[in-house]
Amino acid sequence: MTRMAQLAALAAACAAAGAGVASAADPLQPQEWFLAAVGADRATAPGPGVPLTIVDSGLDAAQPDFAGRPATAYLNAQTTTGPNENHGTEIASVAAAPANGTGIAGIYPQAALDVWDATPAPTGIQSQPAAAGIAAAPCPGVVNLSWGTTTIDPVVDQAIQAAERRGCLVVAAAGNLGDKGNPKVYPAADLHVLAVGSSDQSGAPAAFSSTGPWVDLLAPGVGIEVDTPLWRDPSGNVLADGTSFSAAIVSAAAAWVWTERPTLTAAQLFQLLRGSVVNGVLDIPTALAAPTPPNDPQEPNDTVAEAATQPTLKSRIAASLDATKDPRDLYRIVVRGRVRLTVTHGAVARIVARKGRIAYAEVTLARGVATARYVLRVTSG
């Protein structure tokens, strides 16, 4: 039986049992203020569906909450006893700890959870293993990256772009440097990556959370009850702060919403989650009910290598731009003779390169415009 068939059978069994986010009373659930803060208590989470891949340190399968968890795939060998190797277990718990009467319940308790250990050495997340984990993620699906740096990592960037082309939504932690100069943090600040900052119990941005126009939404990240390996705490649970946990909450919510709304593309889900926040904070019921955003099937198409091909000599292209996460679109056009571009208000179009019958048309935002839904018309001959 394939994994998708196994998940379908498991989902049917869960539905028959009436499973939901609160189907079992986990002892620490009353302390999980973040569930109500994002509306997880006002909707019933589905059974396994769209896969959620966590690329982090390893998930400790011996942690009591995860022992025997169904719908869990360990994509590589997991190490969980080195310095900081509690992080992956804690992230997975916030996202998808099962409602099984033990520890906590995650945002999406029955998520189809895939985990990849990107910490082969005790020095933390490494570029090559992280990129391999992103490449291993099943797409369409959600990829959670609860880590980052203040410099762009080209190896990780290329893996993210490839995952996006395969139909995945990539979610990343915005970083905990808001009170330390507030630099951009990557990969959260990358194009098309959903960047998540932290909110506190009042719904305000957490003091430590990185901020800026590149941060797409907030989710709880202060005083978060998490499962942790027993070597770190014999109780199996601790309180944690950080945008890492905020990203995990959004990733789980994204997989939940996508499972309930399977016709969405990753680009539509990105816009839906950004656009359905309440006071800047993720709200799952609002995302479940919000109108479907216009599709932008050409994305990602920000570079010549990614340029979307338009094979006809006369094309009409509807797409969108965003100043922080999608400021430029490129199209590869088959042309004959002179090329004419016209674009609707809010955007600017021009030919940036041409060789023989292939031309590249660039569309950018007009001066002073933050977002635009545009129509580009191309004629040639």
Write out the catalytic residue numbers.
56, 87, 244
| Strand spans (E) along 217-370 | 217-220, 224-227, 237-240, 308-310, 314-322, 328-334, 339-343, 347-355, 358-365
Residues 6+ apart with CB under 8 A from 146: 54, 56, 87, 91, 172, 173, 243, 244, 245, 247, 248
The tokens describing 251, both together, are: 């990733």
Closest CA to 349 of 360, 363, 335, 365: 363
Contact between 215 and 25 under an 8 Å Cβ cutoff? The reply is no
Q: What is the CA radius of gyration of the chain?
A: 21
Say how far apart CA 381 and CA 379 lie, in whole Å: 7
How are beta strands 358-365 and 347-355 bridged, if at all? antiparallel
Residue count of the chain, please give it: 381
The tokens describing 239, both together, are: 């309180």
- How would you class 355 by CB atoms within 10 Å of its CB: exposed for 0-12, middle for 13-18, buried for 19 or more? exposed
CA 194, 164, 124, 82: dihedral to nearest 10 degrees?
100
Say how far apart CA 168 and CA 161 lie, in whole Å: 9
